[in-house]
């Protein structure tokens, strides 16, 4: 029996066209996924499929369908889809005609798209005065000034390859140089080989400083703090036996990764994480059953840094093994409504994108954490009670858990399980 009960995956976009962010407020320019980016995302999807949705994998999610997608089990939260073609995606009509969906059984998985004006969870740092002040304070720090001085030689050397763009540490021109290096053959032939590594190093310093904070609850961690609302809510759904959700994919950009690495103290033992994750990176939160006789569920956190990396397990908060889910929740404690106050918004509605006004106090955040923790304790009782009655029958490739009948589960591969986003 698999130990994995469900997984929440935070995935970064693949390669895209040039992308500019205002260095003072991080307002972003338009960009779009390239064919390379789609291929990288497709490869990540195939990898996740092999790890979590293949019954032969040691990390297979218990009870998950491996052929036709059950939309109650899978949820996708993105800025733009998750599509596994499967010949079994067919329908038998009354006239005895069988119709297979187009493109070899293409499956249309519902995707919850996000617009900044309606949902701030994936881009909470925009239109946030307190975050803009955080950026200004970082630029004014002694660490930034000394690094900027040390970077002077590099910015002088790279000026001929930026074509009029400001060559300062505030502007951090790595994205432009890297995009041209990938897509422009003439540029790639001319760029001295050492400059791209130096550009990446200074960009890592820049973005790590902007999207982190000395305090877990500091404004610099806003990207991680807000996305944790979605992560913890989904973990709660997975932990509750009556909810069918078992796999959630949250597709986003690089910023939340940096904040989460700091908030969970992963960078203390792994300083190489203090920077920009590569395209098509993935951070997985695996909910696992505890070893008997422990009745708690535990979190195992894994990170895959780009297309050519494999999942590696990282421990959080100084632990040397998996962390109990209840402890993780207690130590993270988050509330989106807190961020309305942190960002100096006029109301909670401005930040949340909702129509109701809510309290914006530290007490509200603490109460939210206590209620969430309490919900997990109650849900654990319900889930364990249900589990005692659960029977999983693998003979004949049929699985039933007392709540849901998954039917036949042949050993098929989703080689075309792909997702792409902007």
* Percent of the chain topping pLDDT 90: 46
Average pLDDT (179-190) is 93
pLDDT winner (highest mean) among 11-15, 67-71, 87-91: 11-15
Lowest-pLDDT range of 85-89, 144-148, 264-268: 85-89
User: Of residues 397 and 348, which shows the higher confidence score?
Assistant: 348
- pLDDT for the residue numbered 323: 95
84 pLDDT tier (thresholds 50, 70, 90): low
More confident residue, 389 or 299: 299
Question: What pTM value is reported for the model?
Answer: 0.76
> Can you give the pLDDT at residue 399?
30
- pLDDT at residue 265 greater than cutoff 90: yes
More confident residue, 147 or 89: 147
* pLDDT score for 248: 92
> Can you tell me the mean pLDDT for 189-211?
96
When mean pLDDT is compared across 50-54, 289-293, 379-383, the lowest value belongs to: 379-383
Q: May I ask the CATH class of domain 4-125+221-408?
A: alpha beta
- Domain positions in the chain: 4-125+221-408, 130-210
Mean pLDDT of 380-391: 38
**Three-class SS string for the chain?**
CCCEEEEEEEEECCCECCCCECCCCCCECCCCECHHHHHHHHHHHHHHHHHHCCCCCCCCECCCCCCCCCCCCEEEEECCCCECCCCCCEEECCCCCEEECHHHHCCCCCEEECCCCCCCCCCCCCCCHHHHHHHHHHHCCHHHHHHHHHCHHHHHHHHHHCCCCCCCCCCCCHHHHHHHHHHCHHHHHHCCHHHHHHHHHHHHHHHHHHCCCCCCCCHHHHHHHHHHHHHHHHHHHHHCCCCCCCEEEEEECCHHHHHHHHHCCHHHHCHHHCCCCCCCCEEEEEEEECCCCCCCEEEEEEEECCCCCCCEEECCCCCCCCEEHHHHHHHHCCCHHHHHHHCCCCCHHHHHCCCCCCCCCHHHHHHHHHHHHHHHHHHHHHHHHHHHHCCCCCHHHEEECCCCEEEECCCCCCCCCECCCC
The string of pLDDT tens digits covering residues 277-317 is 999 999 999 999 988 888 889 999 999 999 999 999 999 99
- Which range has the top average pLDDT, 199-203, 243-247, 417-421? 199-203
Q: Is the pLDDT of residue 404 over 50?
A: no
Question: Over 90: is that where the pLDDT of 259 sits?
Answer: yes
Average of per-residue pLDDT values in the chain: 77
pLDDT range class, residue 369, cuts 50, 70, 90? very low
């Amino acid at each position: 029996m698999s130990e994995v009960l469900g997984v929440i995956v935070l995935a970064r976009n693949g390669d895209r066209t040039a992308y500019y962010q205002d260095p003072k407020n991080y307002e972003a320019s338009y960009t779009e996924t390239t064919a390379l980016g789609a291929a990288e995302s497709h490869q990540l999807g195939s990898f996740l499929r092999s790890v979590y949705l293949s019954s032969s994998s040691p990390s297979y999610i218990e009870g998950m369908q491996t052929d036709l997608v059950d939309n109650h089990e899978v949820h996708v939260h993105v800025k733009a889809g998750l599509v596994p073609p499967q010949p079994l995606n067919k329908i038998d009509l009354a006239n005895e005609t069988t119709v297979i969906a187009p493109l070899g059984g293409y499956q249309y998985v519902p995707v919850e798209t996000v617009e900044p004006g309606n949902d701030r969870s994936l881009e909470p740092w925009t239109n946030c005065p307190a975050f803009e002040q955080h950026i200004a304070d970082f630029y004014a720090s002694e660490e930034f000034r000394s690094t900027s001085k040390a970077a002077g030689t590099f910015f002088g050397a790279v000026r001929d390859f930026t074509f009029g763009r400001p060559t300062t540490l505030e502007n951090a021109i790595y994205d432009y140089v890297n995009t041209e290096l990938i897509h422009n053959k003439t540029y790639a032939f001319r760029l001295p080989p050492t400059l791209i590594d130096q550009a990446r190093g200074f960009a890592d310093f820049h973005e790590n400083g902007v999207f982190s904070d000395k305090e877990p609850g500091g404004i610099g961690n806003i990207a991680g703090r807000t996305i944790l609302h979605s992560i913890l809510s989904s973990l709660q759904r997975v932990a509750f036996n009556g909810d069918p959700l078992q796999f959630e994919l949250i597709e986003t950009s690089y910023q939340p990764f940096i904040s989460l690495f700091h908030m969970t103290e992963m960078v203390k033992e792994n300083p190489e994480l203090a920077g920009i994750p590569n395209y098509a990176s993935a951070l997985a939160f695996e909910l696992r059953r505890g070893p008997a006789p422990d009745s708690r569920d535990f979190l195992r956190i894994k990170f895959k840094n780009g297309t050519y990396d494999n999942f590696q397990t990282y421990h959080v908060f100084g632990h040397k093994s998996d962390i109990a889910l209840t402890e993780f929740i207690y130590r993270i404690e988050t509330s989106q409504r807190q961020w309305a106050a942190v960002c100096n918004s006029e109301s909670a509605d401005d930040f949340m994108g909702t129509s109701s006004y809510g309290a914006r106090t530290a007490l509200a955040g603490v109460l939210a954490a206590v209620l969430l923790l309490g919900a997990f304790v109650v849900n654990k009782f319900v889930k364990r009670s249900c589990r005692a009655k659960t029977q999983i029958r693998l003979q004949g490739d049929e699985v039933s858990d007392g709540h849901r009948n998954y039917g036949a589960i042949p050993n098929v591969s989703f080689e075309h399980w792909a997702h792409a986003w902007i």
